[in-house]
Structure 1
């Protein structure tokens, strides 16, 4: 956690001023019982009303000053702790943005959300408590003990017995509670995971009538978290009455022993009043300090989880001296590429070699799990190859900065992803400075202009989160328009026509030919009708190339391709 506290540097002045104010507030709180003792001894006992009013006025001024110091220091502490939370969130978000897909697969989306929200909130809250209590509590305890000792040395022996008992109780409870607090974050991860799966997969869950099953899964995760909190609360429920019992017994012992000393003439009444207040201040400060020791371990667990993110080095990083592509063409080459997913027993791709040229359409087809999407994900460097190389315009993609590489690519993913906002905003996502005319042209080519025109607000129609107010085909066409408006050198269509009917598919591919004459086009598809007109078809089978050529070439030379064709087309259509 100390590593994260280095990020508080911009708030150094706030922290220093806050600590000074906390010191002044604590000093004022410690001085008040002494003034109360003076009022009792010199005012009440002697019947001196003027002294009572005068000293009472001083007490009010000191209390008001302490209150002002408390308010300002609380404001500054809150500003510093919230600022730390913002800095950590920004750094975590920036780090996660640089993760390759390997890191997302390894760490998991649910825990990343928990770490960015709940964990950082824990650190933020504990930071505020540290600035408020970690300083004031020890000052209050030490100052209270010294002042109590100055009032009556013999009576301090009562505190010498009570404080170790109080400290031992706090220690035993904290030791029991700390592991439970550390387990909370992991259990929150589990709840988030189940809830996220339930929300994103609600249609599948309802379609298969698995609501009760998913409800039971969530209830199990939620119950696990609840039981953990109940255990913590039981311990804390035991702690508070026990501490109050010790504090009340201590007060009784002080009053009993103090009355004996007053009766013996060894102590005055004002000193006893002051001593009692100091005893309460000491024990309350220890109670507050103990809460810190209970909360800090939970924050430390959160800090460790955040540091795991901040300390992780992405698998994919820009080269120290990236090369710049001088000739802008979009030539894509695979040379003996082998690639495996993290933890996989077998490579997803094995010894892949081919060239995709500008002005040509290269189609990739194969059975489910043959490695089609894995192949195209290597071009924008979402993953790095195990061996071999992927080249764009003659340069290995690992030698080019990720920003420059991806500027050359227009990707339409297998699952159409849209963002909340207008239709125009989503198309403009591919080119932030795109004009209205460019957006309309892209929509026209993508065959999206028709359904957009039928909408009440046209291009200003709002898209719901995840595009839930659009059909699958509409989302795919908007994703294609988003890539088209960019006018990249390399187009990658990863099974991007699957939700379209055959007529729209054919019209769209015909329109794309005119727009992509100078670009390299790679199409991943399941339909033979989508790829049969391609200049080059690559057939994948279990991660290896089973054949390369045109439709007619492959019909005679590639058994895998013939099987795919025969499964989709009739004998007359093949002929």
Structure 2
């Protein structure tokens, strides 16, 4: 079972607790196997008529004492093994979360959020069930079977062979059905991920759903997915339900055979009544462990299916990572692109960006303009290594970004994305996200620059107001201003504004730009914008078209070219004039 190898480091980490648990289980199994022996001695004494009340009390006390010792052993065994399963689940969850956060964005383009949540919850729970109740039951079953088998062989080898050879057939039945159960359980977990994703997307996009009156349509789609999940679960339950009747049938047949063969031996005088009772007691003693062993197989099939899904994440290495011996960035902020190119697919011939070369000195400002889909956002993603170029180099302070320490590189960049994401935490924590020590003066300053201060009166708790999931309680403009304040709060050497004022009204945008000009002084700044008025004062402007630089220069120089940039500027002036006339 190759997927179970994933657990080896975790089992090794807690091997002492597990070995002690197995030792306690062995002692408990030995104690359990002694009870039928005491019962045989009592029955034979009664059958022979050589028993007194004190002897009966002794036999009864011995059985009670063995039961108490067995109970204590089983409690200690469960505390050792079951508690260890929670430790391992905790370590697995921590490693899984750590790996998920380290993976590049390409991974998240291939997996749904709901599916990843299912791996973090249902799949981890299935593994814990296997390590806790599963291993605990398996240890009890195997050790009890061994102890009972030895004692049965000493009493009557023929009856012992009947029990030893026939009882494992029930477990074999579990294994045969279990392989099919594992396949279905894997599909159940996959469908649960689909269902979780559907619910998560509907909750996050509830405004859009209501705006387009798609409640009934979304309910219909969710119902179909839910029914698919139900049908897969029913198939799994059907197979699981076959196991227990099959086990009951096997145990009943074995008990009947023992009674038939043993009864003939008692009649022939080769077996005492007490020994027959002892064998039946062993059969009863082994019935639950055999069921437990079958349940263990059931749990193992679920765990293998879940470990397969967890292994897909834990074994995946991030495509974007720091080099083995990283260099620290100088912190000046000079940027250079050297013949950079990015393919839409790493193996495809379609290029998103191609032959990009430009230099941005430290402390200067660069504007990137162009039509939607020209590759503007993809270009700035290369700076923070959201992805790496397929050809060429992106250089910061004279060093290829792939040679720099990734965390240090990203700490020197303040990025305001097109779509601002806010966490379900207070507004103050959203603004200071990623800042270890909050400077109250700096916080007040960035709130003023972003003009978020204008809306604080609308929030019941001011900066302490809890923000709804994904910022649902804020408007688009408010979220963008929080994102601007967050980027400035880091006091970055490189500031990237990716269409950061698209949801802000013209008047507020002008106020924010006025404040940003002071913030941009001395910082290397890249601005992506649709409005020429936003970028006209930058030191350098790049015009992108279909992933290539078609024009480059200052505002006045590009107007003098009378090319694409000049045409965009004239259209904007015309639109502004028409707006004034209206």
Stretches of structure 2 that go unaligned for 5 or more consecutive residues are none
1:192 aligns to 2:202 (yes or no)? no
Deviations 1:84-125 (A, max 9, x none): 111112222222222122222234433332222222222121
Work out whether residues 182 and 297 of structure 1, in 8 Å CA contact, stay in contact via their aligned partners in 2.
Answer: no
Match of 1:466 among 462, 465, 470: 470
Written as runs of structure 1 = structure 2, the 5 A alignment for 1:113-512 is: 113-156=117-160, 158-159=162-163, 162-163=166-167, 165-326=169-330, 328-342=331-345, 346-512=350-516
Work out whether residues 424 and 466 of structure 2, in 8 Å CA contact, stay in contact via their aligned partners in 1.
Answer: yes
Moved more, 304-313 or 435-444: 304-313
* Matched length: 573
Q: Secondary structure at the match of 2:394?
A: strand
Structure 1 CA distance for aligned equivalents of residues 52 and 296 of structure 2 = 44
Q: Tell me: CA distance 1:164–1:316, structure 2 relative to 1, closer, same or farther (3 Å).
A: closer
Q: Secondary structure at the match of 1:314?
A: coil
Structure 2 CA distance for aligned equivalents of residues 384 and 467 of structure 1 = 30
Moved more, 66-75 or 335-344: 335-344
Work out whether residues 534 and 550 of structure 1, in 8 Å CA contact, stay in contact via their aligned partners in 2.
Answer: yes
Moved more, 78-87 or 494-503: 78-87
Structure 1 CA distance for aligned equivalents of residues 270 and 190 of structure 2 = 59
1:528 aligns to 2:532 (yes or no)? yes
Match of 1:42 among 42, 45, 57: 45
Deviations 1:285-334 (A, max 9, x none): 222212222321321222233223222221112122222334x3211111
Structure 1 CA distance for aligned equivalents of residues 210 and 227 of structure 2 = 23
Work out whether residues 334 and 352 of structure 1, in 8 Å CA contact, stay in contact via their aligned partners in 2.
Answer: yes
TM-score (norm 2): 0.93
Q: Tell me: CA distance 1:102–1:342, structure 2 relative to 1, closer, same or farther (3 Å).
A: farther
Structure 1 CA distance for aligned equivalents of residues 440 and 363 of structure 2 = 27
Stretches of structure 1 that go unaligned for 5 or more consecutive residues are none
1:53 aligns to 2:38 (yes or no)? no
Structure 2 CA distance for aligned equivalents of residues 381 and 558 of structure 1 = 35
Work out whether residues 33 and 274 of structure 1, in 8 Å CA contact, stay in contact via their aligned partners in 2.
Answer: yes
Q: CA deviation at 1:448?
A: 0.8
Q: CA deviation at 1:63?
A: 1.0
Q: CA deviation at 1:381?
A: 1.0
Structure 1 CA distance for aligned equivalents of residues 575 and 16 of structure 2 = 81
Q: Secondary structure at the match of 2:341?
A: strand
TM-score (norm 1): 0.94
Work out whether residues 43 and 49 of structure 1, in 8 Å CA contact, stay in contact via their aligned partners in 2.
Answer: no
1:65 aligns to 2:69 (yes or no)? yes
Q: CA deviation at 1:522?
A: 0.8
Work out whether residues 380 and 405 of structure 1, in 8 Å CA contact, stay in contact via their aligned partners in 2.
Answer: yes
Q: Secondary structure at the match of 2:395?
A: strand
Q: Which runs of 4+ in 1 moved over 6 A?
A: none
